[in-house]
A = this chain, B = another copy of it.
């Protein structure tokens, strides 16, 4: 199993256009660069590069069907990213807990 770096996922999700693409595809839509470009204010090539970056983060999979490449979603990297966030949140909770204990012990 390929583990996608959370950093890569965060970078992919830091752009509004890519967030929009993820929203569409996570809702079950598939599409080609050309199709998505019709719904966005940017060119097909720009959309294509955004889809490539999402693919680099493991969030999309492009499948060639005839002359078109249809992109669909893959949620797997989201769980790695979620774990990364939760690990830091829990670490911080532990720090706050230790601090509270230290204060009450005085």
A residues touching B (Cβ–Cβ < 8 Å)? 6-7, 10-11, 13-16, 19, 22-23, 26-28, 73, 75, 78-79, 81-82, 85-86, 88-89, 91-93, 95, 98-99
Contacts and interface: CB of A to CB of B under 8 A. Distances in A.
A89 to B, nearest CB: 5
A26 B85 contact: no
For the residues of A in contact with B, the DSSP-based class is helix
Contacts of A89: 26, 75, 78-79, 82
Copies held by the complex: 2
Nearest to A75: B92
A91 B27 contact: yes
Contact of A81 (B73, B79, B85, B98): B85
